A = this chain, B = another copy of it.
C-alpha cells in the first residue's frame, strides 16, 4: 500500500516550517523553512517609515502567505511525495497574533487607506502596547465579578485578543469600523486555505475569553468596558458556531488554497492551534501530569488535568484547548531564547567577538561553551528573567529584567549563565505553583530548538527543578504535532485516525535524552531559588514598585 502523509506547518515568530510526516510512524519525510521577508516590525512601518511606539511587534500578513506557499511547495519538491498521498494539513501559529480583515479575509493593512495605520497590521503575540487596555479589561471584569476572569488567573494580558481589539477601537476607530473580523493569524491562514473563517478551542479558549461551556463574556460586560465595544462578539468575531474542537476538520482546501500551496483541492484541514501547545501531541503529553515546555524565544508550558482549578498565577485554563476531553492549562515564560540572544548581543567584548569570528560560530555558542565550564553558583550572580515581562505566575508585562552580584571580575559568560539559570528558576516557579494548586506534574518534557541543542540549559533545568527532564528526539515538535492533528482531520476514511489518542499513539516520538539532576548543583540552586523567590515577590507583587517606575519613565521618554 502507498505510504500516506500529513502536512504540519508551524508558524513561528520569524519563519514558517512545513513538515511532511508519515502517518504510520510519525517519521518526518522532509521539512522546509521559509523566513518572513520583513521579520518582526519593531522600529518602523516599511510602508511609511513611520516610527513605531515602544513594545511594538507587528508583522506583514503577506509574509505569512509567502512563507506558507514557499514552505509547502518546498517540502513537496524536496520529498517528491505526490500531493494525493497527503491526506490532511494542519497549521499552528504564534498566538495571540491578531489581524483585522475584511469580509474576504483580506487584511486591512493591504488596503491603501490603512497602509499607514499600525493597527491594520498583524499584532504579534509579543506586542505589548495594549497594557492600559488589558488593565482596564481586567479591572472592569473584577469589578463586575465576571466569572471568566478566574479562568485566566485573574488577569487579562495585553498580549491577548481583547486588549488588542480595544486598543484598535480607541486608537484607530476607522480600522475597528472597517474590520469585518478580528482573527488569529492561524485561523486566517486556514481561511486562505479553505475559504472559511473559523476559530478553534485552543485560541478562542485561551486568548479570546471564550469557553465551550460559558461562551464569550456577555455584551453588558463589553459595554461596561466601552459602549462602542458592546457588540464586538456579534459584529467583529467569528461566530461561536464556527469555533471548532481540536480533533475536528474545519473544511478542505479550496481551489485558491490549492493554488497557493500546491496541495490537492479537497484535502482536509484541521483547526489551527497555538504553536507551543501543539507540541504536546508530538511527545505524547496527552494525559494529565505530563508537563510540556516548548522552549523558543519565549517558553510555552501546557499541562492537562481532569479538574478545572482556578488560581492566580496560571495564564489560562480552558476545556479542550490543548487535547480534547481535558482541561488544558497554559503558563509560560514571556522571554527565554530571546533573552539569551539579548545577552549575546549586549554582554560581549572584543575577545569574544574575535573568538567567534575565528571559529566561524555565533557569539552565543562561545558564551554557552564558556558558561558550561562554570560551576553552579560560581559566578556569584543571580538574574531575574523579566526582560520581556513575566507571563507566569505574575502575568505582568510591565516588569523588566534584573541582575545581581556583579563584581569587577564578572565575565560575559557568567552573565549568560545567570540568565540561563534565571529561566530555570522562573520555570520552577510555574511548576511549583501548578503543584501547590493541586495540578499534578509527574513528567516534564522540553521541546524546541533550544531544548534540543542547549545541553547546558537542560542540565540547569534538571538541577534547578531537581527532576528528570526529557527532551524527546523530535526536532520540530510543533510542526509534527500539527501533522498529528492533520491525521485526525483526515479521519480513518481517508487513511488517517478517528481520535487524537490513536494518532498520538502511532505518530508520537518515543525516544529522547533524559537529563538527571546532579546533587551538588541541586544544593546550590536550592539556595539560589529561595533568593529568587524573595526577589520575585518583592519586585513582582508590589512591595517594591521600582520596575513599574522604570517602565513608566522609559515609555514617557520615548
Q: How far is the CA of A410 from the CA of B538 in the complex (A)?
A: 23
Nearest B residue to A54 via CB reads: B409
Asked whether, in the complex, the Cβ of A342 is within 8 Å of the Cβ of B405, the reply is no
One of A236-244, A253-261, A283-291, A348-356 contacting the partner? A348-356
0/1 interface trace, chain A 155-196, chain B, CB 8 Å (1 if under): 000000000000000000000000000000000000000000
Q: Known: A378-B557, A546-B382, A554-B377. Contact between A412 and B350, CB under 8 A? A: no
CB-defined contacts of A401 to chain B, threshold 8 Å: 404-407, 410
Q: Provide the bound-state CA to CA distance between A549 and B527, in Å.
A: 9
Are B534 and A546 neighbours in the complex by a CB distance under 8 Å? Answer: yes
A387-B407 contact given A538-B544, A544-B538, A550-B381, CB 8 Å threshold: yes
Assembled-state Cα–Cα distance A8/B553 (Å)? 47
Interface pair B410/A406, CB less than 8 Å apart: no
| Residue numbers in B under 8 Å from A549 (CB-CB) | 527, 531
Whether the Cβ atoms of B412 and A406 lie closer than 8 Å is no
Given contacts A346-B349, A551-B380, A553-B380, is CB(A546)–CB(B404) below 8 Å? yes
Q: Does A335 contact B (CB under 8 A)?
A: yes
Residue among A54, A380, A382, A535 with most chain B CB within 10 A: A380
Q: Mark A313-341, 1 if CB is under 8 A from B, else 0.
A: 00000000000000000000001001100
Check if A415 is an interface residue, CB within 8 A of chain B: yes
> Is A406's CB under 8 angstroms from B415's CB?
no
Mark contacts of A31-67 with chain B using CB atoms, 8 A cut-off: 1 yes-contact digit, 0 otherwise: 0000000000010000000000010000000000000
| Chain B neighbourhood of A412, CB < 8 A | 346
In this complex, which of A54, A405, A535 has the most chain B Cβ atoms within 10 angstroms of its Cβ? A405
With CB as the reference atom, state the residue of chain B lying closest to A527.
Answer: B549
Contact with B along A76-105 (1 / 0, CB 8 A): 000000000000000000000000000000
CA distance A403 to B539 in the complex (A): 13
Is B406 touching A402 in the complex (CB atoms < 8 A)? yes
Q: Does A306 make an interface contact (CB < 8 A)?
A: no
Within 8 A of B (CB), among A519-556: 524, 527-528, 531, 534-535, 538, 544, 546-547, 549-551, 553-556
- CB neighbours of A409 from chain B (8 A): 42, 54
Which chain B residue has the least Cβ–Cβ distance from A380?
B554
A347 an interface residue at 8 Å Cβ cutoff? Answer: yes
- Let me know if B553 and A527 touch, CB within 8 A: yes
A558 an interface residue at 8 Å Cβ cutoff? yes
Question: Is B408 within 8 A of A387, CB to CB?
Answer: yes
Q: Closest approach, in angstroms, between the C-beta of A521 and any C-beta of chain B?
A: 11
A350 CB contacts on chain B under 8 angstroms: 345, 348, 353, 363
A388 to B408 Cα, complex, angstroms = 6
| A345 CB contacts on chain B under 8 angstroms | 349-350
CA distance A379 to B405 in the complex (A): 21
Task: Give every chain B residue within 8 A of A363 (Cβ-Cβ).
Answer: 350
A554 touching B408 in the complex, CB below 8 Å, given contacts A349-B348, A527-B549 = no
In the complex, A411 has a CB within 8 A of chain B:
yes
Tell me the minimal C-beta distance from A109 to chain B in angstroms: 23
Q: Quick one: CB contact mask for A379-391 with B, threshold 8 Å, 1 for yes?
A: 1111000011000
Interface of A toward B, CB cutoff 8 Å: 42, 54, 335, 338-339, 342, 345-350, 353, 363, 375, 377-382, 387-388, 400-412, 415, 524, 527-528, 531, 534-535, 538, 544, 546-547, 549-551, 553-558
Given contacts A378-B558, A403-B406, 12 further A-B contacts (CB under 8 A): A54-B409, A345-B349, A348-B353, A349-B353, A401-B404, A401-B410, A404-B546, A404-B550, A405-B546, A407-B554, A528-B553, A531-B546
**Nearest 8 A-B pairs (CB), nearest first?**
A380-B554, A401-B406, A378-B557, A405-B550, A377-B553, A380-B550, A400-B405, A403-B403
Task: Enumerate 28 A-B pairs (CB-CB under 8 Å) in ascending A order.
Answer: A54-B409, A342-B406, A342-B408, A345-B349, A346-B347, A346-B411, A346-B412, A346-B415, A347-B347, A348-B349, A348-B350, A350-B353, A353-B353, A380-B400, A380-B553, A380-B557, A387-B406, A388-B407, A401-B405, A404-B547, A404-B550, A405-B554, A524-B553, A527-B553, A531-B546, A531-B549, A535-B544, A538-B544
